Structure 1
Amino acid sequence: MDRYFGFKEHGTSYGREAIAGLTTFLAMAYILFVNTDILSATGMDPGAVFTATALSAAIGTLIMGLVANYPIALAPGMGLNAFFAFSVVIGLGIDWKVALFGVFVSGIIFIIISLFKVRELIINAIPAELKYASAAGIGLFIAFIGLKQAGIVVADEATVVGLGHMLKPTTLLAIFGIIVSVILIVRGFKGGIFYGMVITVIAGMVTGLIDPPASIVGPVQSLAPTFGQAFNLDWSEVLTWKLLIVILTFLFVDFFDTAGTLYAVANQAGFVKDNKLPRAGKALLADSTATSVGAILGTSTTTAYVESASGVAAGGRTGFTSVVTAALFLVALFFSPLLAVVTEQVTAPALIIVGILMASSLKLIDWNKFEIAVPAFLTVVAMPLTYSIATGIAIGFILYPITMVTKGRAKEVHPIMYVLFFVFLGYFIFLSE
């Protein structure tokens, strides 16, 4: 095992890798509860989603560790789960089984483009500004959902949205959770989001706002309500423009989210040489395989987690770190009774914090160039305002070629962007009928 993972080569040891694996797990354990909370809004069985989340994270992370030998963990992605639940199922009215099929197909396409190494073509086709804007827009969308769950933002007939009742006990609990999480992260605590949720739950139980769980450890929840449901659907709902756009969006967001995360974490670990990421193909293949497997199990897109950087900071340098993290996700299967105490007020702070972190990509956009600023800005604001990630991406992809051609920079626009212009234009025409 020492030779397989290259402990001596990377100057690490079993103990250091094990601690790094535990650190990564604690930093991202919140996804077990947050993903369950988000996907259950579609009508999916919470217990089955919890099991699917843990299993997909364990399988994907194990593949990443054993095949790509990277200390990078995977799990159902934040943003993608919100898109799945609120944009696709609730917004477009697509059945969650059909949406899971869309996730599965996007994973298969990802596998194919990873095998044939066409990722460079796709990356170069879409301008960096739209990638940054999409990430930031998803962050605002997630934060908006969190503020809504916390009761800080509420519906208002006069102004569409307004400030909620800030002295409402459950809202105060959510605000407490936000403050605690922020303090922990500012102070540099690894897994600050997870610990913030734990402290919020304790505060909720002490104040009587959250009922204590009947138990902490229990049997593994049945996967039956979601397992294989991606193929138990009305096939007439599959061959539609709506689902095509959904698949393309899943693919787009997952592709660039994964590429960015892999590069960032690998660079922190010192793996990047001459701006190239070694074993990138294997890492992308692990990610895409996990997405398809996760869809079969019953969860939204599985992707690489930037929280893996916390494990790298703790000394993780090989895939053994990922193996440890995967094992801990399997152990977590027995803690499903804790779902009862993870209310919307507990998950809201996590959503808001993740949204803040994702919004940091705004600084990478060149706001001084109006032809760039227009599609980027409207991509960002359209996501929370229309309650749809797909709409934001579509608006940006339509406006970008227009502003660039108007500016006289038509030659800088990749041909694929012109194709996507007509695809998304057709999407809006279809929705308007």
Structure 2
Amino acid sequence: MSNTDLMTKFGSMLDSYFLISKRGSSIGVEMRAGFSSFLTVAYILVVNPQILSGAGLPINSVTTSTALSSAIATFLTGVFANLPMVISPGMGLNAFLVFSQVLGLGVSLPQAFACCIVASVVVAVLAVLKALNIILALVPNTIKLATVVGMGLLLSLIGLQSAGVVVANEDTMVGLGDLATLNVALAVGGLALIASLHYNKVRGSILIGMTVTALSYFTILNKWPAKVFALPEIQFFPHDFSQIQAMNPSAISAIIAYTLVMVFDIGGAMFGLGKLAGIVSGNSVPGSIPLFLSAAAGTAFGALTGTTPLIIAAESAVGIKEGGRTGLVAVTASLCFLISLFLAPVIQALPPVTTAPVLVLVGAMMMGEAGHIDWTVMTSAVPAFLTMVIQPFTFSIANGIYAGLAFSVILFFFTGDFLVYFRNLSKPFPGEEMEEEHGDDDAHHEPLLSGGEHPRRISSPFNYTRMSHRITADIQDVISRSHYDRTPELLIGSSRQGSDALARSLPANSQTGFDIPRSSPPMYPPVPSGH
């Protein structure tokens, strides 16, 4: 068999395993998208060690730990979840460990990393028990859509900060930076270049723009990397579970904080990026359970070697906008993380302005989701708005979701919607009639009341079957009050009619940035082994 035949067979195997053609992509596009995603998130290899060094951790060792844990989690995500998403240490979580736990409360590093390990185990257990599906299903769709917009605002803010356009200001918190700088000029030029290439549908526009920006920076300032290769260093840290065993409040609160941030940060980013890629099935993302397990595995390894919990990198949107749709994007990015172990000098020499225009452009592309939110209903508009703005203001996707959910619950009670919800609980649920019909004979022959309700059902409105079914089927509509039943085109994936209505009203690859699935099943589809 010739080399050409081997390559053809290997390509066919990749296409079959990752469903590349089925999702409208190609091997070349997937690999280019994976490389683009890696380049935009490569700053974590520089920033994460710098932050953790504040707690006394060696920079070189943390750099290796960051790359290895990201490579492991991202590879597992690609192979088993088949999602085009990069997993890396969360920026907010590393700051929490250093400034809140170690420096603030005086927690030792072994104790802090022990909390990270326990949190990863909790997330893994919740994923295996499929409890995460239930938790995420309770999030109203307006919050999910707003999460996408908030992620775009957060990415844009990071990009503007990297370019020096937005700077800290003691009086106004933020302000306009000095626009007469090389970084601003390169960022503006890079943004114009990438946007123009994207407008003309040039493949690899993002990667081309990043490369031109980086080379321009090195050439103008003559700041080329001093060396290219360096051997990685790794160090395993001891762990102290004594505070956890003693149920120390600070340790338990840290575990809860890590767990909640991982669940909602990963869940929100997963839905937002899934929407961007057009792979949302109904109201869920196929492969979510393997994704959470992959992040948990990477977090456990990272805690053993000296880094903080891992979440989905919002910068994965760059690879998706480059055309990435499958797990081959993640596999490619994971290989780049492994190679970066030996290319640390080059990675550390890349200026932040390299990724600045990309983040701003991707942020702009994610704004289209705001059009699918019903802004005329305050119980929908206010939580959605808080979800959007809290993310960039606090540098946290999870904080935005918390704010949106909290205000949804507050309005749920203050507006009296809870009365409507609990009144609906007394209505028969499909399947209950059969149970009543085949119950005992006395119940079968009891007459119905004038309202059509069975006496036994009236007397016991809070049975477990009805509650467990309705709480996932109705709570989103009642809390968000977005009137999706009257305007199904506003809801993506809530029903077959709503999905088809939106699909008919928008052309493929319109301003939303993703293809609208027609008649998608409303629940999680079974995830085949390895996909």
Under TM normalisation by the shorter chain, which class is it?
Answer: 0.7 to 0.9
Shift of 1:166: 0.5
Deviation per residue, 1:218-243 (Å, 9 max, x gap): 1333233xx54776998768525465
The correspondence for 1:248, drawn from 235, 244, 260, is: 260
Within 5 Å, which residues of 2 pair with 1:343-382? 343-382=351-390
Within 5 Å, which residues of 2 pair with 1:221-236? 221-224=232-235, 227-228=236-237
**Counterpart residue identity of residue 76, structure 1:** S
Equivalent pair of 1:376/1:396 in contact (CA under 8 Å): yes
The correspondence for 1:150, drawn from 160, 163, 179, is: 163
CA gap of 1:326–1:365, structure 2 versus 1, over 3 A, is same
Flag the structure with more relative contact order, 1 or 2, with Cα contacts below 8 A and sequence separation at least 6.
1
- Select the structure that is richer in helix: 1
Shift of 1:119: 2.9
SS at match of 2:266: helix
SS at match of 1:334: coil
**Counterpart residue identity of residue 35, structure 1:** I
**Counterpart residue identity of residue 265, structure 2:** V
Deviation per residue, 1:27-56 (Å, 9 max, x gap): 212145222244245244554454334323
Whole-Å Cα distance in 2 between the matches of residues 178 and 33 of structure 1? Answer: 19
Whole-Å Cα distance in 2 between the matches of residues 149 and 307 of structure 1? Answer: 16
Equivalent pair of 1:103/1:301 in contact (CA under 8 Å): no
Equivalent pair of 1:49/1:223 in contact (CA under 8 Å): yes
CA gap of 1:275–1:374, structure 2 versus 1, over 3 A, is closer
Deviation per residue, 1:93-120 (Å, 9 max, x gap): 6689577656544432221122112233
Question: Partner residue of 1:75?
Answer: 87
Deviation per residue, 1:143-197 (Å, 9 max, x gap): 3233223221223344332211110233323333333343444444555444433
CA gap of 1:337–1:32, structure 2 versus 1, over 3 A, is farther
The correspondence for 1:384, drawn from 386, 392, 398, is: 392
Question: Partner residue of 1:121?
Answer: 134
Question: Partner residue of 2:43?
Answer: 34
The correspondence for 1:140, drawn from 144, 153, 170, is: 153
Equivalent pair of 1:33/1:347 in contact (CA under 8 Å): no
Whole-Å Cα distance in 2 between the matches of residues 88 and 8 of structure 1? Answer: 39
Instruction: Count how many residue pairs are aligned between Structure 1 and Structure 2.
Output: 400
**Counterpart residue identity of residue 212, structure 1:** W
Whole-Å Cα distance in 2 between the matches of residues 84 and 181 of structure 1? Answer: 32
SS at match of 2:234: coil
CA gap of 1:143–1:239, structure 2 versus 1, over 3 A, is same
Between the aligned residues of both structures, percent identity stands at 24
Two-structure CA RMSD over aligned residues (Å): 4.3
SS at match of 1:402: helix
Question: Partner residue of 2:183?
Answer: 170
TM value normalised by structure 1 = 0.73
SS at match of 1:207: helix
**Counterpart residue identity of residue 75, structure 1:** I
User: Do structure 1's residue 303 and structure 2's residue 333 form an aligned pair?
Assistant: no
Shift of 1:306: 4.9
Within 5 Å, which residues of 2 pair with 1:52-67? 52-67=65-80
SS at match of 2:42: helix
- Residue segments in structure 2 that go unaligned for 5+ positions in a row: 1-8, 423-469, 476-531
CA gap of 1:11–1:382, structure 2 versus 1, over 3 A, is closer
CA gap of 1:367–1:223, structure 2 versus 1, over 3 A, is farther
Equivalent pair of 1:258/1:284 in contact (CA under 8 Å): no
SS at match of 2:223: coil
The correspondence for 2:33, drawn from 24, 38, 47, is: 24
Whole-Å Cα distance in 2 between the matches of residues 215 and 338 of structure 1? Answer: 7
Equivalent pair of 1:137/1:380 in contact (CA under 8 Å): yes
Whole-Å Cα distance in 2 between the matches of residues 105 and 25 of structure 1? Answer: 31
**Counterpart residue identity of residue 223, structure 2:** D
SS at match of 1:76: strand
Equivalent pair of 2:142/2:384 in contact (CA under 8 Å): yes
Within 5 Å, which residues of 2 pair with 1:87-98? 89=98
Whole-Å Cα distance in 1 between the matches of residues 15 and 187 of structure 2? Answer: 45
Whole-Å Cα distance in 2 between the matches of residues 148 and 302 of structure 1? Answer: 22
CA gap of 1:101–1:144, structure 2 versus 1, over 3 A, is farther
Shift of 1:211: 1.1
Whole-Å Cα distance in 1 between the matches of residues 18 and 402 of structure 2? Answer: 46
Equivalent pair of 1:144/1:352 in contact (CA under 8 Å): yes
Shift of 1:369: 0.9
CA gap of 1:192–1:26, structure 2 versus 1, over 3 A, is farther
Question: Partner residue of 1:404?
Answer: 412
**Counterpart residue identity of residue 214, structure 1:** A
CA gap of 1:336–1:123, structure 2 versus 1, over 3 A, is same
Whole-Å Cα distance in 1 between the matches of residues 364 and 289 of structure 2? Answer: 30
CA gap of 1:201–1:324, structure 2 versus 1, over 3 A, is closer
Whole-Å Cα distance in 1 between the matches of residues 353 and 20 of structure 2? Answer: 43
Within 5 Å, which residues of 2 pair with 1:203-352? 203-208=216-221, 211-216=223-228, 218-224=229-235, 227-228=236-237, 238-239=250-251, 241=253, 244-259=256-271, 261=273, 265=277, 267=279, 281-297=289-305, 298-303=307-312, 305-306=316-317, 309=320, 323=331, 326-352=334-360
Equivalent pair of 2:116/2:255 in contact (CA under 8 Å): no
TM value normalised by structure 2 = 0.61
